[in-house]
Amino acid sequence: MKIIFFVDEKKISFFSKLLKIEKKDDLKEAKKELVKIENFWRQNEPFLEGLFLKLFNEELTGEIKIFIFPNDFLIGASETVGQNILFGQPSRTTNFSLAIITHEICHIILSKNKNKRPIIVDEIICLMLEDYIYSVLDKTLLSDVWKESELDFFHLNAMKVAIAEISENGPIINRNINNLIDALSNKLSDNILNIKPPSGLINNLGIK
């Protein structure tokens, strides 16, 4: 799996208009962020690659493109078919950008797994992986990084299940992903399994 980082002027100008945060230094700011984020990524690449290999049990092929935006765009999304990730958020922990990009890569990898399951199951798994990055690299937890009050209903419920699952059965690194998908699909109530992500700006653009 090849991870390539980009700053794309057209994408930045598209989103700056859409999000109504037009300012002069967009491009410069994104380029500065790219250097920082790519450095963090490259430093931790053996750890991250080992993690994906262990969890998803296969050599990952293909390319994933990470498009970096200025911090105040508050974007974290993946377009699974094209294997593109959009990221631009202020860091909440030292390795926050890695945790979010890993979360989005997890969505891309899970999208290749065609076993039928509710969409919230993927979100729970990606959050469990995000938690693992925080716990190993930053000695902190998902629940310390995200306040419940700032999450939408879908992400709030996914986070609660992820935290409960980790405290009950340990970190994601010790799990088999297919078993985890089955376990979550079987044990969660329909009330949880039927929760759908909010339709918003990013979803309307065909990105999730």
In the set 126, 161, 166, 202, which binds Zn ion (CB under 5 A)? 126
- φ, ψ of residue 6 to 5 degrees: the values are -135, 155
Task: CB nearer to Zn ion: give 126 or 180.
Answer: 126
| Residue whose CB is nearest to Zn ion in the complex, by number | 126
Secondary structure letter of residue 62 according to DSSP = S
CA distance 117 to 114: 8
CB-facing half-sphere around the CA of 139: CA atoms within 13 A? 0
∠ Cα 36 65 196 (to 5°) = 105
* Site residue total, Zn ion (CB under 5 A): 2
Q: Interface with Zn ion includes 55 (CB under 5 A)?
A: no
Q: How far is the CB of 162 from Zn ion (least distance, A)?
A: 11
Cα 91 from chain centroid (whole Å): 14
Q: Is 162 in the site for Zn ion (CB under 5 A)?
A: no
Q: Does 125 bind Zn ion (CB under 5 A)?
A: no
- Closest separation in Å from C-beta 94 to Zn ion: 21
Q: Which is nearer to Zn ion, 16 or 97 (CB)?
A: 97
Please tell me whether residue 128 binds Zn ion under the rule CB under 5 A. Answer: no
Residue with tokens 């262990």: 54
